[in-house]
Structure formats: C-alpha cells, structure tokens
C-alpha cells in the first residue's frame, strides 16, 4: 500500500496544500493508500532521509516527492482508474493552475492565515517555522500577518479566474473533476485546516458550491482529518 506523508498540526489535522493534491490524486486513480502525519522537523527522517518537502509518497522501495512530479508519475504509470489530466492539453492546462495556485493564490492566502497557522502547529515545529518563514519573508510573522487586510482586498481578483470558470462549468476539469480541481482544493484545505477564515464563503456562491462538491468526492475524503 502507498504511504503519503502529510504535515500535521497540533490537532492532528493534515494541512499541506500540496499533500492534499496528492491524496486526492491517489483516490482519483483508485489506489489504496494511507496517510501518515508528521511535523516539519520530521521530514528529514522519513524514507531514505533525503527528503526536504511533502508530499512524499512511499510505494514499496520507490520514494517520490513534489506534488506535480507525483501526479505526472501516477498518470504515466497507473493504467487503472481515471485520467488525472485528460490528455496532454489537459496536463498543460493543469500546469498553469499548478503555478497559479503555488505562486499566486497561496502566497496571498498565507498573509491571511499565517498567525493562526503558526499557533496551530506542533510545538516542536514552531521555532523552525518562524525562523524559516521570517527568513523567506524578510520580516516577522507578525509583520507578515499584519498585511492580512491588504491581502483580502487583493483576493477577489486572484480568485476571479476560478470563479469565472465555475460560472460556466461545474469543475475546472469541465464536466468531470481533474487534477486542476485537486490543485485548487489543496489551497482551500490549507485555509480550512489552519485558520478560521471562511474562504469558500468569501469566494462566492459558485466557488462555495464547487468546494462543497469537492469535499463530497471519494467518499468525503477531503472532509476527514481536518
């Protein structure tokens, strides 16, 4: 059975947006898998000891990291289950969503949730998180979180491509969910597990309906462990 390593907070909730992408992709492909929660400070001790990020999956002796690389590997090697991309063009479109979420949406959301996310971490991870993120931000967590209102003001424009697409079709994948949907869901799961901010409500009715439908997929998988 495949093991997926997730980041877990002090309440045991899995919060990594990228690991949620992988968990949903495995379910989409119909693969049996189990999720194991770890802390930031545990990553270096898992599998072969060479991992620096989650998601990391362990399938027998094979170890893979990085959500996009894992998705491409699953699509290329697992012939059972449904396609994650629906072909090469769908894969190219999903790559755009991958980069929009990773480099546009998620940095904006982090400014909104960073202080609550920090407070919910396992104690053993707090020093690491503060030091690494303050180095990345070039300012304290508190100063970064103080820009939350500014980030919320910019969020409708960032969410507009998602909202406008869902005004026309039920899924980012069109008539059926695809890996693009799981990418976007990962960001929503991150907020849902790490803060009190109601992102689906903020995003509007069509996005909220999509989000509710996403939570129902695969026997409610995304509703669990949050």
pTM passes above 0.85: yes
- Assess whether the previous peptide bond of 55 is cis (omega < 30° from 0): yes
**Residues 58 and 34 both lie in one domain:** yes
Who's near 84: CB < 8 A, 6+ residues apart? 25, 28, 29, 71, 74, 75, 94, 178, 179
149 shares a domain with 170: yes
For the segment 187-213, the average pLDDT, to the nearest whole number, is 98
Decide if 224 is inside a domain.
Answer: no
Q: Is residue 83 part of a domain?
A: no
Give pLDDT tens digits for 36-87.
Answer: 999 999 998 888 777 878 999 998 888 999 999 999 999 999 988 899 999 9
Q: Is residue 226 part of a domain?
A: no
pLDDT tens per residue across span 182-192:
999 999 999 99
CB 195 within 8 A of CB 152: no
Q: Are 145 and 111 in contact (CB under 8 A)?
A: yes
Give 26's pLDDT tier (boundaries 50, 70, 90): very high
Q: What total number of domains does the chain contain?
A: 2
**Cα(89)–Cα(45) distance, rounded to whole angstroms?**
38
Residue 176, domain extent: 88-219
Residue 109 and residue 145: Cα distance in Å, rounded? 10
């Amino acid at each position: 059975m495949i093991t997926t390593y997730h980041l877990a907070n002090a309440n045991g909730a899995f919060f990594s947006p990228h690991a949620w992408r992988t968990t949903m992709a495995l379910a989409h492909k119909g693969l049996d898998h189990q999720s194991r929660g770890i802390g930031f400070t545990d990553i270096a001790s898992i599998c072969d000891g060479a991992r620096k990020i989650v998601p990391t999956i362990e399938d027998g002796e094979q170890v893979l990291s990085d959500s996009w690389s894992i998705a491409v590997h699953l699509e290329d090697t697992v012939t059972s289950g449904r396609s994650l991309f629906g072909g090469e063009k769908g894969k190219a479109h999903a790559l755009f969503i991958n980069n929009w979420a990773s480099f546009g949406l998620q940095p904006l959301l982090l400014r909104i949730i960073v202080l609550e996310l920090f407070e919910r971490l396992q104690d053993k991870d707090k020093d690491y998180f503060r030091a690494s993120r303050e180095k990345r931000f070039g300012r304290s967590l508190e100063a970064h979180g103080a820009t939350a209102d500014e980030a919320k003001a910019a969020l409708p424009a960032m969410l507009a491509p998602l909202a406008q697409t869902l005004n026309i079709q039920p899924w980012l994948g069109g008539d059926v969910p695809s890996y693009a949907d799981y990418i976007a869901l990962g960001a929503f799961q991150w907020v849902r597990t790490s803060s009190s901010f109601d992102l689906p409500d903020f995003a509007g009715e069509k996005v909220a309906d999509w989000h509710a439908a996403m939570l129902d997929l695969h026997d409610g998988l995304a509703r669990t462990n949050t």
